[in-house]
Each structure stands twice: as C-alpha cells, then as structure tokens.
Amino acid sequence: MNYKLIVNNIHKEFDTKSGSIIAISDISFDVKAGEIVAIVGPSGCGKSTLLNIIAGLDNPNSGNYYFDTENPKIAYMLQTDALLPWKSVLDNSLIGLKIRKEINEEKISKVKNLLKEYGLKDFIDKKASVLSGGMKQRVALIRSLAIEPDILLLDEPFCALDYCTRLSIEKDVHKIIKDSNTTSIIITHDIEEALNMSDRIIVLTNRPSVIKKIYDLPFDDNINRRSLPNYETIYNSIWEDLNE
C-alpha cells in the first residue's frame, strides 16, 4: 500500500502561565494516497493542534511525520473561509497559486472550470463579499484544490454553516475531493459528517489525547450511506467512544 503521510508518536505540550499542559500525548497513524480520513474527538483534545503540526505551522515536542514527497504541497481549510472580501471570487481561488508562483493559463482555466462546475459560474468576477456562506466555503475549497495539494487538511470546515447548507455542501465537498482524488484529513465534531465524508474515522480521547479507536468504513462511495445497515451501528459505537 502506498502511504501519503505517516505520523509517528507525535507529542505536543504548550507552555502556559499555569505550567505546561499536554495537548497530545502520543499519536501515530497513517493516511493512504487518495484516502479521506476523519478525526473526531472531544473539544480541546488537540485536533487542531495535530492538524497545525501536519501543516507545518507548529512543531511537535517529539515524534515525527513523513510525506511521500520531499516538499509536500499542503492545503489547509479552516472553520472560517478566510476569503479576501476585496478580491473577486476568481482571484480568491487563485491566491494559493499566486503565492506559490505556480500560476499559468492552464491552471486558471482549470480553476474556472471548477468554479463553473460547483455553481459559482455567475460569480466568477464578483467580489467574494457578496457570496452566501455555503458558496464561500466552496470557493475556499476550490482555492485549496487549485494548487493540486498532496494533502488537504480541513478543520471543522462547515461548523459555521447552518444545518441545511451543511448537508448539501458536505455532499459537494465529498464529491469534489473524491473526483480530484485528493488525500484528505477532515476534523469534525459531527459523527454524521465523519460517516458521510470519510473512508476511515480516527477517534481521539480527551486531552492529553491518544487514539481511542479507528473505524474502517465499509461504505461504497456512490450510495446513500445513511441507509446502509452498518451506519447506525458504527454511529452508536463512536457516540459511546466519545461519551465514556
């Protein structure tokens, strides 16, 4: 099996005024190429910290992680869309390419096609500030995918959206990620979201966190997962993991 990312014994502490706190005790896992892994866990257990470390924005106190390439391209999608409201939707989508100085005609037209495909055709030249919440998240996703990342990291990307928007965008995002065959890690506190979007679910314990359980989801991609018999069993099992 070819792995995209291997994480070994990550340990992370923070120094605070009241002494140091251990956020992550010891976490190891790996992510296969093209796989979508969901991470769920109680609030404050260190999920964002883990993702920051993988994104290279923070360093672990010990442990290490490897990508299958020397200089992996990482795309990070946060809770807020972080769009630049003074720029057009297209310019927002291209910003990663511009920063990385990888922009060219071919990539621009690819991004335009993605925007068209995901319902943003009429907004390509509009300012990002006029979009609805769900649209903004779609632009943020397209911005992330534009650089053709080796891995896409999503930190509770939909938690600021209302329930209905959320359901439809979950489907969109899942499809966009799968179509582009992008390896992804998604953090969520919503068990259903994890079940709907991922191939594997990693459940973390309370802080200082370790991995409690890993669920390989036996779901095919194209069917409505919710109606499958295993869905509820796994849902209940994760729910118990989190509430013990």
Ligand X SMILES: Nc1ncnc2c1ncn2[C@@H]1O[C@H](COP(=O)(O)OP(=O)(O)OP(=O)(O)O)[C@@H](O)[C@H]1O
Supply the minimum distance, in Å, between the C-beta of residue 29 and ligand X. 15
Q: What is the DSSP letter of 104?
A: -
CB 4 within 8 A of CB 32: yes
Give me the sign of the Cα torsion angle 21, 154, 204, 32.
Answer: negative
Which 114-133 residues touch another protein, going by CB under 8 A? 127, 129
Q: How far apart are CA 25 and CA 185, in angstroms?
A: 20
Only one of the segments 29-37, 45-53, 225-233, 235-243 lies at the binding site for ligand X (rule: CB under 6 A); that segment is: 45-53
Only one of the segments 29-37, 96-104, 112-120, 184-192 lies at the binding site for another protein (rule: CB under 8 A); that segment is: 96-104
Which of another protein, Mg ion, ligand X, none does 57 bind, CB closer than 5 to 8 A by kind?
A: another protein
With CB under 8 A as the contact rule, the residue among 62, 64, 69, 86 that binds another protein is: 86
Supply the minimum distance, in Å, between the C-beta of residue 242 and ligand X. 11
Residue nearer to another protein on the CB measure, 42 or 72: 72
Supply the minimum distance, in Å, between the C-beta of residue 82 and ligand X. 16
Q: How far apart are CA 13 and CA 125, in angstroms?
A: 45
| 38 touches ligand X (CB under 6 A) | no
Only one of the segments 30-38, 60-68, 84-92, 223-231 lies at the binding site for another protein (rule: CB under 8 A); that segment is: 84-92
DSSP, residue by residue, 115-162: HHHTT-GGGTTSBGGGS-HHHHHHHHHHHHHHT--SEEEEESTTTTS-
Q: How far apart are CA 87 and CA 85, in angstroms?
A: 5
CB 75 within 8 A of CB 113: no
With CB under 6 A as the contact rule, the residue among 207, 210, 211, 230 that binds ligand X is: 207
Binding-site ranges for ligand X (CB under 6 A): 14, 16, 23, 41, 43-49, 189, 207
